Amino acid sequence: MIQTIDYNKTSIRYSAKGEGVPLVFLHGYLLSLDVWLDFTSELSHDYRVICIDMPGHGESGLPSEISSMELMADVVKKVLDHLRIDSAVIFGHSMGGYAALALLGAHPEVFKAIVLFHSHTLADSEEVKKKRDREIKIIEKGQRKLLVVQSIPNMFASDTLSVFDNELKLCQNLAKKMDDQAVIAAIRGLRSRPERSELLRNAAVPCLNIIGRKDNFIDFEKVAMATELPLGSDRLILENAGHMGFYEDSENALAGIRQFLNRIL
CATH of the domain at 160: 3.40.50.1820
Calpha distance 179→148 (Å, rounded): 12
Quote the number of domains for the chain.
1
To the nearest 5 percent, what fractions of the chain are helix, strand and coil?
50, 20, 35
Structure confidence at residue 260 (pLDDT)? 98
Can you tell me the distance from the alpha carbon of 148 to that of 164, in angstroms, rounded to the nearest whole number? 16
Q: How do residues 42-62 score in pLDDT, each as one tens digit? A: 999 999 999 999 999 999 999
pTM for this structure?
0.98
Residue 20, Ramachandran bin (φ over 0: left; ψ between -120 and 50: alpha; else beta): left
- Residue-wise pLDDT tens digits, 12-39: 999 999 999 999 999 999 999 999 999 9
pLDDT tens digit string along 117-152? Answer: 999 999 999 999 999 999 999 999 988 888 887 889
The residue type found at 8 is: N
CA-based angle 191:124:227, to the nearest 5? 135
- Spatial CB neighbours of 102, under 8 Å, sequence gap ≥ 6: 68, 69, 70, 72, 73, 193, 196
Measured between alpha carbons, how far is 177 from 6 in angstroms, rounded to an integer?
Answer: 21
Q: Which of 63, 2, 60, 51 is nearest to 22 (CA)?
A: 51
State which residues form the domain around 89: 2-264
- Is residue 197 over pLDDT 90? yes
